[in-house]
């Protein structure tokens, strides 16, 4: 079964734009869990543009024993101010999954996967450190990654396919070639013993088609589209609508 992990970053963006505590990321997580999601995702950044370390700790208490906690971030980014670094946050809250993403302050959002030929040696000890704190480790990669198998060689448990190019092709009306590339990359990863997750720009409009063509996706992490849709329909009904798009439990 594909797990829906709801990314609550955008709730923090709205809160931070005004100051204070509203809307509360913890309350949004509660609603998503009540609606039936299987996980909560956050992506704290050193610039604290949305999720802050305090949110990471508070959400850990909310989700513990209920759903999976997925902590995303750039493992290469050093501590800054109140941000202690990704591995330190993993050590503090012990999420079920740490998703390593090569993003920087200059990116509005994550927009590419790791270059494993370049980054493998640096990633290996960071993967080991996250796993030593009980986290399953997933690496953010692009469809068509030439050496996706290297993710397994350096200790990762899963990959997360960056689905932005698929979402764009779908919106333009013909995603067949892109979907074939995603399916091929997923199959290669699975043959190497890796689980496959997916995320970025997935929405109610494009999720079902993606899952029909890309086999055995274990988790989809969805935030921006889900929160945008929830502004119109409400958060709990929107989470339930996504759940209806997932394959039935085997």
Q: Is 160 helix (H, G, I), strand (E, B) or coil?
A: strand
Share of the chain above pLDDT 70, in %: 96
Among 17-21, 72-76, 133-137, 221-225, name the one with the lowest average pLDDT.
Answer: 17-21
Confidence class of residue 107 from pLDDT cuts 50, 70 and 90? Answer: low
Q: Is 33 helix (H, G, I), strand (E, B) or coil?
A: helix
Burial status of residue 68 (CB atoms within 10 A of its CB: 0-12, 13-18, 19 or more)? middle
| Assigned architecture for domain 3-245 | Alpha-Beta Barrel (3.20)
Report the C-alpha gap between 242 and 203 in whole angstroms: 8
Confidence class of residue 250 from pLDDT cuts 50, 70 and 90? Answer: low
Q: Of 85, 162, 100, give the one whose Cα is nearest residue 137.
A: 100
Confidence class of residue 103 from pLDDT cuts 50, 70 and 90? Answer: confident
Confidence class of residue 106 from pLDDT cuts 50, 70 and 90? Answer: low
Helical segments of the chain, H only: 9-18, 25-35, 53-63, 86-93, 116-132, 150-153, 164-172, 176-191, 207-213, 224-233, 235-245
pLDDT at 247: 87
Among 94-98, 99-103, 153-157, 163-167, name the one with the lowest average pLDDT.
Answer: 99-103
Size (the chain), residues: 250
Strand partners, 57: none
Active site residues: 43, 72, 200
Q: How does 21-58 read in b/e, with b if 16+ C-beta sit within 10 Å?
A: eebbbbebbbbbbebebbbbbbbbbbebebbbbebbee
With 60 as the cut, is the pLDDT of residue 150 above it? yes
pLDDT at 30: 97
Report the C-alpha gap between 106 and 115 in whole angstroms: 18
Tokens of 117: 């030929």
29 prior amide bond cis, ω within 30: no
Q: How do residues 44-55 score in pLDDT, each as one tens digit?
A: 999 998 999 999
pLDDT at 110: 59
Which letter does DSSP use for residue 154 in this model? Answer: T
Confidence class of residue 105 from pLDDT cuts 50, 70 and 90? Answer: low
Which letter does DSSP use for residue 146 in this model? Answer: T
């Amino acid at each position: 079964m594909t797990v829906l992990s709801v990314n609550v970053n955008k709730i923090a963006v709205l809160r931070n734009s005004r100051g204070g505590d509203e809307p509360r990321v913890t309350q949004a997580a509660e609603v998503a869990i009540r609606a039936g999601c299987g996980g909560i995702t956050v992506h704290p950044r050193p610039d604290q543009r949305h999720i802050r370390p305090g949110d990471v700790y508070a959400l850990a208490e909310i989700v513990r024993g209920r759903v999976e906690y997925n902590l995303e971030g750039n493992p290469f980014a050093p501590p800054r101010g109140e941000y202690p670094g990704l591995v330190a946050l993993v050590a503090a809250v012990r999420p079920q999954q740490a998703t390593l993403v090569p993003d920087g302050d200059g990116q509005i959002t994550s927009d590419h996967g790791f270059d494993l030929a370049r980054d493998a040696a640096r990633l290996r000890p960071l993967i080991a450190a996250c796993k030593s704190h009980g986290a399953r480790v997933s690496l953010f990669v692009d469809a068509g990654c030439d050496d996706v198998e290297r993710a397994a060689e350096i200790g990762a448990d899963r990959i997360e396919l960056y689905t932005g190019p698929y979402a764009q092709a779908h919106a333009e009306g013909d995603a067949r070639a892109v979907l074939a590339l995603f399916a091929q990359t997923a199959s290669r990863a699975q043959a190497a013993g890796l689980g496959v997750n997916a995320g970025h720009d997935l929405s109610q409009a494009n999720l079902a088609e993606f899952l029909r063509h890309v086999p055995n996706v274990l988790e989809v992490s969805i935030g921006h589209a889900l929160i945008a849709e929830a502004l119109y329909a409400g958060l709990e009904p929107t989470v339930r609508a996504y759940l209806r798009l997932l394959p039935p439990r085997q």
